[in-house]
């Protein structure tokens, strides 16, 4: 459906380097990258604002090289939404249809259908200035969807929203994607969005597509430390393997693991949600890794509570609110950390 074939572009000092990927019909790809990695530049190139210096963009098999911006079958919603401030909600959504000089009856029907789909029927008569962040987001989505184009691009669409609205819109995006069978290219710096919404994840760093694949593959097998650090922020470190003792070592901290190459450095990741906390060492558990540590921080998170523990190295455990209250944790308290060996991700460095 959407193919970028070796697309390169230089703008000022920044360069988008030979970006290649393809998306099948109905696939959802989230391109993750830090600020300034070229994500928006890539989207601007797909919709035709930028012209690639090399390579080609194809939509439904058709090259976009000579297709002007206004004729590309690709919709976009930007982070700033860019709703037309001089038009009300109805006229914003009707804009792409009015431009095509569709009959007023058809426009009304399509606008009302799209508004109903996005649950904004009751705000159609309102001015843009009087909408909440979530309502504006829905209007921008409705405006991008109403021309019924097969590909939708989303440029950090959730980054300006509060946590509750963000969650609502994320669910809405998932519903839109599934019900409309849209091919979606979403760019963000937030890995949580990618995990919730995507079939595939791409990692864009300094204008280069470093890795791309199904969500599980990229999350579990990042191809470099740089990518690992981008997508896995907690509990990621380099460790050296001691084959004689079957231990990965970092200072005094060691991890039991079998079958790795002796004296070689590995990138290790322990998912925070896989670390169990207990006031007693669990000797009967099948988990081979049990450590004593001291709680150094407690941070409330939208997915639960993040507990920072000093156990020779700093580890983070993610607990549900319920577990946190049951354990009666406090900073400074001693605690045992337990996790299974097979929860530990080890990647070759």
Looking at residues 20 to 49 of the shown chain, list those that interact with other proteins (rule: CB under 8 A).
44, 47-49
Which residue matches tokens 């990618």? Answer: 194
* Residue closer to other proteins (CB basis): 146 or 219: 146
CB of 162 to other proteins, least distance (A): 19
Stretch that binds other proteins, among 27-35, 68-76, 131-139, 339-347 (CB under 8 A): 68-76
Q: Which helix (H) or strand (E) holds 109?
A: helix 104-117
* Residue closer to other proteins (CB basis): 49 or 243: 49
Q: Specify the 3-state DSSP secondary structure of 339.
A: strand
Which tokens is 189 given?
């710096």
CB of 98 to other proteins, least distance (A): 9
Residue 348 β-bridge partners: 266
**3, 4, 29, 74: residue in contact with other proteins (rule CB under 8 A):** 74
Q: Is residue 117 a contact residue for other proteins (CB under 8 A)?
A: no
CB of 348 to other proteins, least distance (A): 42
Map residues 139-178 to x or -, x wherever contact with other proteins holds by CB under 8 A. ----xx--x-------------------------------
Closest CA to 207 of 50, 99, 1, 78: 50
CA distance 52 to 43: 11
Stretch that binds other proteins, among 91-99, 197-205, 211-219, 259-267 (CB under 8 A): 91-99
Q: Is residue 69 a contact residue for other proteins (CB under 8 A)?
A: yes
Contacts of 75 (CB under 8 A, 6+ apart): 144, 145, 147, 149, 151, 152, 153
Q: Is residue 232 a contact residue for other proteins (CB under 8 A)?
A: no
Looking from the CA of 119 toward its CB, the CA atoms found within 13 Å total 9
Which residue matches tokens 């380099």? Answer: 238
Q: Specify the 3-state DSSP secondary structure of 40.
A: helix
CB of 5 to other proteins, least distance (A): 22
Q: Is residue 85 a contact residue for other proteins (CB under 8 A)?
A: yes
Sheet containing 314-319: which strands, arranged edge to edge? 276-278, 334-339, 289-301, 304-310, 314-319
Q: Is residue 66 a contact residue for other proteins (CB under 8 A)?
A: no
Q: Is residue 110 a contact residue for other proteins (CB under 8 A)?
A: no
Q: Is residue 327 a contact residue for other proteins (CB under 8 A)?
A: no
Looking from the CA of 112 toward its CB, the CA atoms found within 13 Å total 6
Q: Is residue 72 a contact residue for other proteins (CB under 8 A)?
A: yes
Stretch that binds other proteins, among 76-84, 169-177, 218-226, 310-318 (CB under 8 A): 76-84
Burial 41-63 (b: 16+ CB within 10 A, else e): bbbbbbbbebebeebebebeeee
Q: Which residues bind other proteins (CB under 8 A)?
A: 44, 47-49, 69-72, 74-76, 78, 80, 82, 84-86, 95-96, 99-100, 128-129, 143-144, 147
């Amino acid at each position: 459906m959407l193919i970028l074939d070796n697309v390169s572009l230089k703008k000022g000092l920044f360069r988008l380097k030979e970006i290649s990927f393809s998306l099948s019909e109905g696939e959802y790809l989230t391109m993750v990258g830090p600020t300034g990695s070229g994500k928006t530049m890539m989207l601007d190139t797909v919709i035709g604002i930028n012209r690639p210096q090399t390579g080609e963009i194809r939509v439904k098999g058709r090259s976009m090289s000579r297709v002007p911006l206004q004729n590309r079958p690709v919709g976009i919603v930007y982070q700033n939404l860019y709703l037309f401030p001089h038009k009300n909600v109805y006229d914003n959504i009707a804009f792409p249809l009015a431009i095509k000089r569709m009959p007023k009856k058809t426009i009304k029907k399509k606008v009302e259908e799209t508004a109903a789909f996005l649950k904004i029927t009751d705000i159609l008569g309102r001015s843009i200035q009087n909408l909440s962040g979530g309502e504006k987001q829905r209007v921008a989505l409705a405006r991008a969807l109403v021309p019924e184009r097969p590909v939708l691009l989303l440029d950090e669409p959730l980054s300006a929203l509060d946590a509750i609205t963000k969650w609502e819109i994320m669910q809405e995006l998932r519903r839109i994607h599934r019900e409309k069978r849209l091919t979606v290219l979403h760019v963000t710096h937030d890995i949580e969005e990618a995990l919730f919404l995507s079939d595939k994840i791409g990692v864009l760093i300094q204008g280069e597509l470093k890795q791309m694949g199904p969500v599980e593959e990229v999350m579990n097998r990042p191809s470099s430390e740089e990518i690992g650090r981008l997508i896995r922020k907690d509990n990621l470190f380099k460790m050296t393997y001691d084959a004689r003792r079957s231990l990965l070592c970092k200072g005094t901290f060691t991890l039991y693991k079998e079958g790795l190459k002796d004296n070689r450095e590995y990138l290790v990741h322990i998912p925070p949600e896989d670390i169990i906390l207990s006031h007693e060492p669990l000797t009967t558990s099948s988990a081979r890794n049990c450590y004593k540590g001291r709680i150094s921080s407690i941070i409330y998170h939208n997915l639960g509570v993040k507990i920072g523990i000093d156990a020779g190295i700093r580890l983070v455990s993610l607990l549900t609110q319920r577990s946190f209250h049951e354990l009666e944790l406090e900073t400074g308290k001693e605690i045992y950390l337990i996790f299974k060996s097979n929860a530990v991700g080890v990647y070759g460095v």
